[in-house]
Amino acid sequence: MTHSLRRAGAAIAALIAGLIVVFALSPAANAAAPPDAQSVVSFWKDKKDPLYLDSGSSLSSDQASKIRDALKDSKSDIYVAALPDGTLSASTAKPYVDSLGRATVQAKGGGRVTVAVLNGKTLFAASNFGQSGLTDQLAKRAVSANDDIVAGMEDFIERVNLASSGKTRAALDSGPVGGGGSTGLGVLAGIGAVVLVGGGGLFLYTKNKKKKQAIQDAKDLAAVKQTVEEDVTKLGEEITALDTDVQLAGQGGQHINEWQQALDSYEKAKTQLAAVQRAEQVRDVTQTLEDGRYALAVVKAKVNKQPVPERRAPCFFNPQHGPSVRDVRWAPPGGAVRDVPACAADAEAVERGFDPQMREVMVDGQRRPYYDAGPAYQPYAYGYYGGFGDIMTGMFIGTLMGSMLGGGGFGFGGYGAGYAEGYADAGGGGDFGGGGDFGGFGGGGDFGGGDFGGGDFGGGDW
């Protein structure tokens, strides 16, 4: 009996010892609660210091100094809180970062803000600009591209700056974009020597390359402006040809509201074209021409006592033909079949097996369809077709312009959709609110973060 009691006592003692060890080794058990979000934000604001260091943080004084300097040199507002390892878990990290974000924007009175938390060597971050989850992607890229926490943080800061300025594609580059990465000082010194020796040649090469590119851009712009000028002239000629019919319709055509709209669009397009100095401005002119051509089509219908035409995209084959009447199945030479909007004459030609009347432009001394004329004609096409939803992607698939549209260099989806650079437009809603409004922090999007050491949250290791 005594032997049994002794064995039972030993087992209980071993169990208690084991539980003590488990609790002692468990980060969750010993993890301190994170500092109050408002206190952290007050530190950032009052101390004018973008790096909050909690007691127990694994950052050395040298690491903290370098990260602080990078934050102060940042072109965008980035604030970092360095906490002891294990302070946050995968489930508590996002709510905490969200609360930091809301309090920061409130303290600043708005504006673009990025907040990040170093949980030991694990990085969590979010911004109130760009598409939800973008900042998380930037953190992961920075982690995977660097094996040192300081270099990684410098890399992350530079990625945020790129994204904030609209250069999202560059921000999401897989290689290091900031900081020193894992490159040794000796290697850097060697690179520096090479740069000193070859710097003059590189400078001259870069300068010459930029000069050639500027000449080519000016040449392309002149060609596109000539094309648009032809379109403007064509609209003016059609307005003049219809003038007599409108006058005969009575009241000098004043009872036809679209007549004045067509006239206004023509004058506006001329003014816009005269002011064009950059390629992207061309889309404003062709959008105005699209408005004018539809108004003119309505005038023609009313003069001839016909039904008012539906507002459809311009004829794909030649936007000078005005609004399309229906879609037809068509394929460019060697390309895939797709549905494209066509005017009545071109639709009938295609359906009967003939070639449509294609809008051709001069490229390097040769006439080519406008959709196969290179990137200079992207704004030209966008102005005509960008206001009609997603039809552009299907229309241009398999053409030269189609390959550009699919590459992230062009954005669609209605008037004013604008250009997109890769992942997202930097002016979007962000992870914790839209346009600097703190009320929406944490409203949606993925949240994870890159891991600077432990890999606990699915990130990379430093």
Domain match, 46 and 156 both? yes
* Residue 297 belongs to some domain of the structure: yes
What is the residue whose two structure tokens read 């009052």?
Answer: 46
The beta strand positions in 120-206, using DSSP E, are: 122-127
What is the residue whose two structure tokens read 């992942």?
Answer: 423
Domain match, 154 and 245 both? no
Pairing of strands 326-330, 338-342: antiparallel
What is the residue whose two structure tokens read 């949980």?
Answer: 119
What per-residue confidence (pLDDT) applies to 416? 25
Domain match, 400 and 434 both? no
> SS3 of 342, please?
strand
Q: Which pLDDT tens digits describe the chain residue by residue (462 residues)?
A: 555 545 555 555 555 555 544 444 444 444 578 999 999 999 999 989 999 999 888 899 899 999 999 999 999 999 999 999 889 887 788 889 989 988 998 888 878 899 999 988 889 999 988 766 788 888 888 887 887 899 999 999 999 999 888 787 788 876 676 544 444 444 454 555 555 555 666 667 677 878 888 888 888 899 999 999 999 999 999 999 998 888 777 655 566 889 999 999 999 999 999 999 998 899 999 999 999 999 999 999 998 899 999 999 999 999 999 999 999 999 888 778 889 999 999 999 999 999 999 999 988 788 889 988 888 898 999 899 988 866 666 677 656 665 555 433 322 222 222 222 233 333 445 666 533 333 334 333 333 344 444 333 333 334
What per-residue confidence (pLDDT) applies to 79? 96
User: How far is 143 from 58, CA to CA, in rounded Å?
Assistant: 17
* Residue 75 belongs to some domain of the structure: yes
Are 34 and 96 a contacting pair, CB within 8 Å? yes
User: How far is 273 from 224, CA to CA, in rounded Å?
Assistant: 11
What tokens appear for 363 in the block?
């490229």
Q: Amino acid letter at 341?
A: P
Domain match, 265 and 388 both? yes
* Residue 20 belongs to some domain of the structure: no
User: How far is 86 from 423, CA to CA, in rounded Å?
Assistant: 32
Contacts of residue 423, Cβ cutoff 8 Å, sequence gap at least 6? 130, 131, 134, 137, 168, 169, 171, 172
What per-residue confidence (pLDDT) applies to 173? 75
Domain match, 388 and 254 both? yes
Domain match, 37 and 89 both? yes
* Residue 38 belongs to some domain of the structure: yes
What per-residue confidence (pLDDT) applies to 253? 56
What per-residue confidence (pLDDT) applies to 453? 41
- Measured N-to-C along each axis, helices 378-385 and 282-303 cross at an angle, to the nearest 10 degrees, of 40
* Residue 114 belongs to some domain of the structure: yes
Question: What are the phi and psi torsion angles at 233 (to 5°)?
Answer: -60, -40
For every residue of 59-91, DSSP letters joined together read: --HHHHHHHHHHHHH-SS-EEEEEE-TTSS-TT
What per-residue confidence (pLDDT) applies to 308? 93
Q: Amino acid letter at 396?
A: F
What per-residue confidence (pLDDT) applies to 454? 35
State the total domains in the chain: 2
Domain match, 317 and 390 both? yes
What per-residue confidence (pLDDT) applies to 31? 55
pLDDT digits (tens, 9 = 90+) for 331-378: 888 778 889 999 999 999 999 999 999 999 988 788 889 988 888 898
Pairing of strands 51-53, 78-83: parallel
With 0.75 as the threshold, say if the pTM is over it.
Answer: no
What per-residue confidence (pLDDT) applies to 92? 87
* Residue 456 belongs to some domain of the structure: no
The C-alpha angle with vertex 186 and arms to 185 and 189, in degrees rounded to 5, equals 85
What per-residue confidence (pLDDT) applies to 225? 94
What tokens appear for 116 in the block?
């990040």
Domain match, 355 and 435 both? no
User: How far is 22 from 29, CA to CA, in rounded Å?
Assistant: 9
β partners of residue 122: 119, 451
Domain match, 386 and 273 both? yes
What per-residue confidence (pLDDT) applies to 431? 63
User: How far is 426 from 138, CA to CA, in rounded Å?
Assistant: 13
* Residue 422 belongs to some domain of the structure: no
> SS3 of 341, please?
strand
What tokens appear for 252 in the block?
């000098």
pLDDT digits (tens, 9 = 90+) for 219-232: 889 999 999 999 99
Are 351 and 255 a contacting pair, CB within 8 Å? no
What per-residue confidence (pLDDT) applies to 372? 86
Domain match, 38 and 126 both? yes
The rounded Cα 17 to chain-centroid distance in angstroms is 56
CATH number at residue 135: 3.10.310
Domain match, 75 and 114 both? yes
Domain match, 234 and 340 both? yes
* Residue 360 belongs to some domain of the structure: yes
Contacts of residue 92, Cβ cutoff 8 Å, sequence gap at least 6? 34
Contacts of residue 185, Cβ cutoff 8 Å, sequence gap at least 6? none
Q: Which domain holds residue 154?
A: 31-172+430-440
Pairing of strands 338-342, 51-53: unpaired
> SS3 of 308, please?
coil
β partners of residue 361: 368
Are 318 and 346 a contacting pair, CB within 8 Å? yes
User: How far is 123 from 130, CA to CA, in rounded Å?
Assistant: 19
What tokens appear for 77 in the block?
């507002």
User: How far is 66 from 76, CA to CA, in rounded Å?
Assistant: 17
